[in-house]
Structure 1
Amino acid sequence: MRLRSSRHLVTASVTALALVMAAPVALADPIPEPEDDARGVELHTDGHSHDTDGQNVLQGLGDPFAEGLLLPDDPFVVPEDDTSGDPAPGEGVRVMPESPMDWIGSPPDPGELPAEWLTEQPAEEIVPSTGAALMTAGDGYLGGGFDALGDGPELTDAEIAAVPAPPSKTLPPTLDAAPPWFYTYSCDPNNKPGMVAFANLMANHYDRPTWWGSRSCIAGDNSQHYEGRAVDWPMNAYNAADKAIGDSVAQWLTANNGEMARRFGVQSVIWNRQSWYLYKPGSWYPYNGASPHTDHLHISFSWDGAMGRTSWWDGTPITAHDYGTCRVYRNQYAPRYQGLNGSACSTNLPNPPAAPNPVVLPGARNNYVKTAQQHLGFSGGDVDGIFGPMTLQALLTYQTNKKLPWTGVLDKATWARMLSGAPPKPEPVGVKRLAGGNRYETAAKVSELFPTGKPLYITVGQDYPDALAAAARAGSKDAPLLLAQSDNLPAPTRQAITRLKPSSVTVVGGGTAINPSVVQEIKSLTSAPVVRVTGGNRYATAANVAKTFGQRVDVVYVATGLDYPDALAGAARAGYNNGPVLLVQPGNVPAATREAMRAINPYRVVVLGGNIAINGSVANELKSLTRAKNLQRVAGPDRYSTAAELARYYPNGLDTVVIATGREFPDALSGAARAGEQAGPVLLVTADSVGSTTRDVLRYLTPKQILIVGGQGAVSNKVETILKDYVK
């Protein structure tokens, strides 16, 4: 895309920077991606700076297909006149171009988009076309006659015949619904799994292994690369073999009104001076952007396509759209993608709060960043004015804690909150202990860390099975978890319910675990709705809790139902990634768990524990029940090592690590809910020692605070002293 004004004409090649900046927040457990060298990128991060000076970061790093841009003096600072959403003085009403990719500057708000761009097509019943039929269809790229209009050689029959037939598989008779055009509204340069899967499919099938994905956000520009949902695939229109492949893929995707584009969630294609859009699929149009796209195909995806939810991947056609990221304020960056959004973005947005500082993007080096770092609690040499990974992670945490749009950008709303007073003094860091006289009082003390008005989860404190699933759901809701006795509501729990003023209460466990009289007492303490989630056994209860996460979840965590440590460590991670915890037996997937897997239809599964806890046949069955047939196992030789291994998926420099005893479940239970809310892990210790694997991961994590949950009988003062060596 092109920018409106500037002094310097440079070629921006910023994929490497985009990936560096994304590193601290691309934290979901790994989905296989190409090796870095497959994209020509070698990444070096020290967790803070860019190892380069000023605007030279845009030159020579990463993606060679970033278009030639007219860049502002600082490409990571949005000019003040670009944030209002109004036309520049004298311009009058903003005029929409013929096609979205011809728009110059930051994208218009949804209310300004032409109705044509918002055209949706419902799912429909068809007879799936064969590859051969699509390649000869009259309305695709070749059928539209653009082979004669584009650049490059005229292809011979032999050169065309040398191209492999397109990929094929059995597809359902229902064709995915086609979404409206989705502009890029957020700065979220993390490669999305559906885009990666498509890029790998094309690269492997046609033996053209190099591709380029996410790209660092640039002020005032719009590109699906900035959200990790576009791929640039090198293809030379002046080389006969490359041109034949490029023409073939363009034809295959767009023929028959974009039948295969709908199967993949492709929303646009640009190739050899021509562009195509799914919202008006019958034609190709001349493309006049800064790059003629004679050296690569650009393919962008809807949010369902970017996340790999379309019928090509799992046989389930899209019938209702994921509308992705939506702006909160006019002409401001939207929050980063956090999961499926089934509601169209608002067309009536308020103006952003007033703030004197401009919008500043990751990658900036200036005094604005220094100001932000001081408000984020940095001190000394850390106040260096470099908007690198450490500053990004601190900003995302700040936005979460202050209930601001989770943009990862120094936007107007964030500046308004930051500059409302003097930079706060950094919160004291170190080791903190929360403990009560018993498990019920300890859980109540942990709940004091949560604000009022949140959802609340209550489970039995005398046994662990029901509690395992409850901790994960509480963490995903940023909600506290309290404990009850089967026939009594302890005084600390009663007092906590009254103090928390919950918006809702969910009791996890059946009448035997928590009898009806206890539920009635809970209802008497709050005006919030109180519901119970239960099942015939621990597996069914976990299954029913999992179903409250909805359909088509991104990830599910599975642990043995015969012990608690793996599931408790997993509960914190599950809460962080908004995924449920399900339980299995070492050699069997219970029927309730299998049925829940089908109901929540997860993209992937993470198995917690080794082969003794969950054997290979169970793991493979779980894998077969995922949409992507994607399995990851996280395991160590013991419960302490498994928790430590899972903690390695978190970034270093995080705010909080929760420590609890590995010998009992209640303290770790309430701690897991807090860890999920704080985006940190749970680590396990013995009463008097910290294992070597736990020490190693603490050394890596360098948290700002370690929260011990439990009294000295569970975690001794000796352990507390040891832990002080591992806080930042």
Structure 2
Amino acid sequence: MGAHRRRIIMSVVAGVAVAAAVSVPMLPAAANVLNPPAVVGYIDSIAISYVQDSPSPSLHVAGWAGDLNDGWENGRGAAAIELVATPAAGGATTTIGWAERQDYDIPRADVRRAYPQLGPNQGFDVRWAKAPSVGALNVCARMWNLNAAMPPGGWVLVGCASVTVPATRPSIAKTPSSVVAGTPVTVTSGTTQGTDSFAWWAWNPSAPDPSGYPQPIPGATSASYIPTARYIGNELQAVVTTRVPGRAPVEQYPYMTTVDYPDHTVDRVAGSDRFGSSVAVSQAAFPDAAAGVPVAYLASGVDFPDALSAGPAAAVKHGTLLLTMPGALDPRIAAELTRLHPPLVVVAGGPAVIADAVLDAVRALPFAPEVRRVAGADRFETSRAVALDAFGAAAPSVFVATGRGFADALTAGAAAAAAGAPVLLTDGARSTADAATQDVLAGWGTRTVSVVGGPASVSAGVAASLGPAISVTRLSGGDRFGTAAAVAAAAPASSTAYFASGFGFPDALSVSALAGSAHAPLLLTTGSCIPVVELQTMLDRGVDRFRIIGGETVQTTDINWGRPC
């Protein structure tokens, strides 16, 4: 029998009240009949705690308790642990704390092995029970259980332990008020005259964990800790535990340290809706109205496929991409075209996507541009037609993404635009690449293809059949956000990153030309936070400028500060 199990068994007979309680036979409970309590338990440890710079001591009391005649799970049942303290020299017994709900819901596998009839979470942990006085104290744990026929007084003794509280605080541990993610934060423990050990906890004030308490960071057991991107916006709590032989451990909890993203600038590119945002992106990319642009691409703003290939096409031609309504030319789009006065306007998609009336309205603008429609029978053929029209006879490097969804192709578009490469949409669910895609790649003399998205987006068969002389690299993650991070990590480092919603396509469609001209990645957000996998990539690559696409109803101000999720 192991030492820990011996302690659990022996605790049953550690006191008269406990022994008497355990002797009650376990009988099946009749409906609505409360059983007498059969309490087992033990106080495992008591430490002296000091919070921040307060000289007042608290007690950290940990242990376990259960009622053998009531096999509930603690924290969700009707039981609580009362902690009381009595000065050893004599005096009144004082209630110093309670363990209930999250404080009495600690998993204890050792207890479950010894007492399988109990629920799984029989541990209690009260960190800041106020010490009633200094000097020697006798601390006891009492169980109150509404599911049991409790004795007079309402409680049953679990167990007791003694502790001596020092007359003065031995030291004051300190941590800085803030730290930048990726750089070390150090706790200074002062002169403790003992052996110090360390732990670091994290608490997210915006989205606290279910217990509402800081939670230990696995492996963070040194005086210094380097917070990763996942802890941006969190509060770090250092815990310094000092042990001196013959004395109770002393725990210190200094002021918390806020983890920030490194200093960065933020600007937002947005309009009142998707079409207005399209204009805002165009104006950010081409602020000089006098210079204009050589070409403007128009794509539907109510569906995504045609714009996904049009973005890199516009970028390679040093032009802009604007979104339009299917049946009419928005006055804001007309005004932006007039401002940039391109001699050529390319409309991506057939008449079912963008009506001839839109083309006629563009032709009627004051600068009288040439208007040309580039389209195919479906989204895949239109993608090939747009890419061939823009890139001509050669494209040594190509990005391939599924045309069945927009997320992977959005980030592919910005990366392709930065690399001066086209994006081809494919039916990623096929077992092999279609002949038309293979022919385009062969005709271009393509040597490298970046497949954006995992096998669920673009099958292994499609990737393997793109061409015998083509080197294929897959850029993917566990989801659309992980894929965006993988695409960004594969591109040359940039100090700027663009952010668009990963759950909607409109704002991101027109940004590939802007991101491509800046040679910056497009990352996807949830609208209220940046997934950690992307945030860590930004941190690793030194991104210090955030360009947020879309208004605050699409992307909240939490994106400004790099809130992780």
Q: TM-score, normalised by structure 1?
A: 0.39
Distance in 2, matches of 1:429 and 1:685, equals 18
Which structure features the higher share of strand residues? 2
After superposition, the C-alpha distances for 1:503-560 in whole angstroms (9 at most, x for unaligned) are: 3211111111101110011111233322111000000000111212122311111011
Match of 2:362 in 1: 522
- Asked whether the 8 Å contact 1:477–1:575 carries over to 2, the reply is no
Q: Equivalent residue for 1:709?
A: 549
Instruction: Tell me the residue number matched to 2:227.
Output: none
**1:676 is the counterpart of 2:520:** no
Match of residue 554 from structure 1 = 396
Match of 2:537 among 697, 700, 723: 697
2:325 and 2:438 map into 1 onto residues whose CA distance is: 30
Identity %: 33
Kept after mapping to 2: 8 A contact 1:456/1:502: yes
Q: Can you list the C-alpha shifts for 1:90-126, whole angstroms capped at 9, x where unaligned?
A: xxxxxxxxxxxxxxxxxxxxxxxxxxxxxxxxxxxxx
CA offsets per residue over residues 380-409 of structure 1, 9 Å max, x none? Answer: xxxxxxxxxxxxxxxxxxxxxxxxxxxxxx
Match of 1:392 in 2: none
Counterpart-to-counterpart distance in 2, 1:650 and 1:620: 22
Aligned to 2:406: 564
- CA distance in 2 between counterparts of 1:503 and 1:638 reads 41
Aligned residue in 1 for 2:420: 578
Q: Find 2:276's aligned residue among 431, 441, 457.
A: 441
Whether 1:613 aligns to 2:451 is no
Q: Counterpart amino acid of 1:577?
A: A
Pick aligned residue for 2:444 from 600, 603, 606: 600
Aligned residue identity for 1:600: W
The alignment status of 1:644 with 2:479, answered yes or no, reads no
CA distance in 1, matches of 2:395, 2:437: 15
Q: Distance in 2 between matches of 1:675 and 1:551?
A: 25
**Counterpart check, 1:539 vs 2:369:** no
The separation in 2 between residues aligned to 1:691 and 1:705, in whole angstroms, is 17
Q: Which amino acid aligns with 1:537?
A: D
- What is the aligned partner in structure 2 of residue 589 from structure 1? 433
User: Cα distance, 1:466 vs. partner?
Assistant: 0.8
Separation in structure 2 between the aligned mates of residue 479 and residue 700 of structure 1, nearest angstrom: 32
Residues 650 and 701, structure 1, Cα contact 8 Å, conserved in 2:
no
The alpha carbon displacement at 1:678 in A equals 1.0
Verify the 8 A CA contact 1:475 1:675 in the aligned structure 2.
Answer: no
Cα deviation, 1:195-214, whole Å, max 9, x if unaligned, reads xxxxxxxxxxxxxxxxxxxx
Q: In the TM superposition, what whole-angstrom CA distance separates every residue of 1:63-94 from its partner, at most 9, and x where no partner exists?
A: xxxxxxxxxxxxxxxxxxxxxxxxxxxxxxxx
Give the drift of 1:702: 2.0
Deviation by residue 1:162-190 (Cα, 9 ceiling, x = unmatched): xxxxxxxxxxxxxxxxxxxxxxxxxxxxx
> Within the alignment, does 1:481 sit opposite 2:316 as a pair?
no
What are the ranges of 5 or more consecutive residues in structure 1 without an aligned counterpart?
Answer: 1-427
Q: One-letter code of the match for 1:554?
A: P
Q: Distance in 1 between matches of 2:372 and 2:496?
A: 31
Secondary structure of the corresponding residue to residue 395 of structure 2:
coil
Q: TM-score, normalised by structure 2?
A: 0.50
Q: Distance in 2 between matches of 1:523 and 1:700?
A: 48
Aligned-pair CA distance for 1:655: 4.6
Mapped partners of 2:456, 2:478: distance in 1 = 10
Query: What is the DSSP-based 3-state SS (H/G/I as helix, E as strand, rest coil) of the residue aligned with 2:456?
Result: coil
Cα distance in 2, alignment partners of residues 429 and 722 from structure 1:
10
Q: Encode CA deviations 1:428-452: one digit per residue, 9 max, x unaligned.
A: 9611001111100000011112144
Contact 2:438 2:467 in 1 (8 A): no
Q: Which residue of 2 aligns with 1:270?
A: none
**Contact 1:605 1:623 (C-alpha < 8 Å) held by counterparts:** no
Query: CA 1:502–1:704 in structure 2 vs 1: closer, same or farther (change >3 Å)?
Result: farther
Distance (whole Å) between structure 1 residues aligned to residue 465 and residue 542 of structure 2: 37
Aligned letter for 1:621?
S
Q: Does the aligned pair in 1 maintain the 2:437–2:466 contact within 8 Å?
A: no
Residue aligning to 2:125: none
Matching residue of 1:492: 332
Q: Aligned equivalents of 1:598 and 1:678: distance in 2?
A: 30
SS of alignment partner, residue 466 of structure 2: helix
For 2:496 and 2:359, the matched residues in 1 are separated by 33
Provide the aligned length of Structure 1 versus Structure 2.
Answer: 293
Say whether the 8 Å CA contact 1:478–1:676 is kept in structure 2: no
Per the TM alignment, residue 704 of structure 1 is displaced from its structure 2 partner at its CA by: 4.1
Task: Output the CA distance in 1 between the equivalents of 2:519 and 2:363.
Answer: 30
Listed as ranges, the matches of 1:339-350 within 5 Å are none
CA distance in 2: counterparts of 1:472 and 1:571, whole angstroms: 6
> Is contact 2:269-2:277 (8 Å) kept?
yes
d(CA) in 2 for partners of 1:603, 1:691: 33
* Displacement of 1:453: 2.2
1:714 positional shift: 1.2
The DSSP-based 3-state class of the residue aligned with 1:442 is helix
Separation in structure 2 between the aligned mates of residue 589 and residue 613 of structure 1, nearest angstrom: 13
Q: Corresponding residue for 2:266?
A: 431
Change beyond 3 A, Cα 1:651–1:578:
closer
Contact 1:623 1:631 in 2 (8 A): no
Distance in 1 between residues matched to 2:496 and 2:373, nearest whole Å: 31
| Cα distance change on mapping 1:591 and 1:520 into 2, 3 Å | farther
> Superposed, which structure 2 residues align to 1:241-320 within 5 Å?
none
CA shift at 1:629, angstroms?
A: 2.6
From the superposition, tell whether residues 704 and 721 of structure 1 become closer, same or farther in structure 2 (CA, over 3 Å).
closer
Aligned with 2:465: secondary structure? helix
- Relative to structure 1, is the Cα distance of residues 649 and 600 closer, same or farther in structure 2, using a 3 angstrom cutoff? same
Q: Distance in 2 between matches of 1:527 and 1:689?
A: 44
Q: What one-letter code is carried by the residue in structure 2 that aligns with 1:673?
A: A
Structure number with the higher helix fraction is 1
Give SS of 1:684's match.
strand
8 Å contact kept, 1:539–1:590: no
Q: Which residue of 2 aligns with 1:721?
A: 561
Over the residues paired in the alignment, what is the CA RMSD in angstroms?
1.8
User: Contact 2:415 / 2:516 at 8 angstroms: preserved in 1?
Assistant: yes
Aligned equivalents of 2:434 and 2:276: distance in 1? 34
Which AA in structure 2 matches 1:431? Answer: V
Distance in structure 2 (CA, Å) of the matches to 1:589 and 1:597: 11
Secondary structure (helix, strand or coil) at the match of 1:478 reads coil
Distance 1:499 1:429 in 2: 32
Q: Structure 1 residue 660 and structure 2 residue 504: aligned?
A: no
Q: Alpha-carbon deviations, 1:277-301, whole Å to 9, x = none?
A: xxxxxxxxxxxxxxxxxxxxxxxxx
Gaps of 5+ in 2: 1-262
2: distance between equivalents of 1:701 and 1:664?
26
Query: Secondary structure, in 3 states, of the residue corresponding to 1:622?
Result: coil
Say which SS state the counterpart of residue 502 (structure 1) adopts: coil
Matches of 2:352 and 2:561, distance apart in 1: 41
> In 1, distance between residues paired with 2:264 and 2:344?
32
